[in-house]
Amino acid sequence: MEHIINLTKENIQQVVDASMDNFVVMSFWAQQQPESVQMLQVMELIANEQAGRFILAKVNCEAELEIANYFQIQSLPTHLVLSQGKPIDGFAGVQSQAQVLDMLNKHLPELWVQDVNAAKVILAGDTVTKEQLEEALSLLKSAYVDSGNQAEVALLMVDAYLQLGILGDAKTLLDTIGLADQDSYYQNLKAKLALAEDAADTPEIRQLQQALEAEPDNVEISINLAKALSQANRGEEALENLFAILQKDLSAADGKVKQVFMEILTALGQGNTIANQYRRRLYSLLY
């Protein structure tokens, strides 16, 4: 359902049903009542700014007198907040945007909860694209900050990281979850991470690691190992190995180490936490 609708006799049951899961604000107005038109504009502004936080149901009392009579509207403008099919709050007369928000904030969920719920829908989908997962992760990153780093949001972020194959960030974030929040969802994600890490430990990687142990100064082996780690979604390990070389010689292997390092950063993407961390570390060497 759209976040702003015109309430009529034909769709009122649909709106009441929607109030079982969402908050609905009913705005009673009439063209012949200028103050009600003014208040309706304020409500539309708020509804657009907070799209999805509540449904604004506009009731034109000149056309829908029965609805106004049913809710015993005595004057215009009048606003009612519906939850679970019943009015739980409201106000009559003109109020400022700040006053309206103060009233709504007593009942409506925090804005970050809306982002979390949207991300949950994406993560629970049967067929989810990479773009959708990245959208969910972006919503969750914002919600994580706004929620004060709540564990519930962190676990959802770990889920998104795992589905995207970003194992380093998933492991780092999972390690921040306190004992009190290590529920069944946490255990499920921990098991998925372990399986993903095992799957990422390919024979090629093990062979290159053994070769590097035998020849620790062989830059070519280090480059090949970094490429293999990156392909196995182990970008943090790849970057760490190459950065250790760059710390000693920025132009190692005629600049090839730095080139591969930058390619891995690009592959991880601009919004990747690990990529941003190592990009800053590289800049500290350059300048």
Residues 188 and 210 grouped into a single domain: no
Q: Can you give the pLDDT at residue 167? A: 86
Q: Can you give the pLDDT at residue 151? A: 96
Q: Can you give the pLDDT at residue 31? A: 96
Residue 87, SS3 per DSSP: strand
In 3D space, the residue among 39, 14, 33, 32 whose CA is nearest the CA of residue 24 turns out to be: 14
Assess contact for 246 and 285: CB atoms under 8 A: yes
Residues 196 and 208 grouped into a single domain: no
Residues 160 and 247 grouped into a single domain: no
Total domains, the chain: 3
Q: Which tokens is 56 given?
A: 């604004």
Residues 232 and 245 grouped into a single domain: yes
Assess contact for 198 and 183: CB atoms under 8 A: no
Residues 10 and 101 grouped into a single domain: yes
CATH code (residue 268): 1.25.40.10
Q: Which domain holds residue 216?
A: 203-286
Q: Which of 143, 171, 200 is the last residue of a domain?
A: 200
Q: Which of 105, 128, 154 is the last residue of a domain?
A: 105
Tell me the pTM: 0.62
Residues 269 and 190 grouped into a single domain: no
CATH code (residue 15): 3.40.30.10
Residues 184 and 258 grouped into a single domain: no
Assess contact for 243 and 261: CB atoms under 8 A: yes
State the Cα–Cα distance between residues 165 and 192, nearest whole angstrom: 11
Residues 152 and 128 grouped into a single domain: yes
Residues 58 and 99 grouped into a single domain: yes
State the Cα–Cα distance between residues 52 and 91, nearest whole angstrom: 21
Q: Which of 200, 232, 248 is the last residue of a domain?
A: 200
Divide the 287 residues of the chain into consecutive groups of 10 and give the mean pLDDT of each group.
91 92 94 96 93 90 95 95 93 94 90 89 89 93 94 96 88 94 94 86 90 94 92 88 94 94 86 85 88
Q: Can you give the pLDDT at residue 236? A: 87
Residues 180 and 129 grouped into a single domain: yes
Residues 115 and 98 grouped into a single domain: no
Please report the DSSP string for 216-274 in residue order: TT-HHHHHHHHHHHHHTT-HHHHHHHHHHHHHH-TTGGGGHHHHHHHHHHHHH-TT-HH
Residues 92 and 125 grouped into a single domain: no
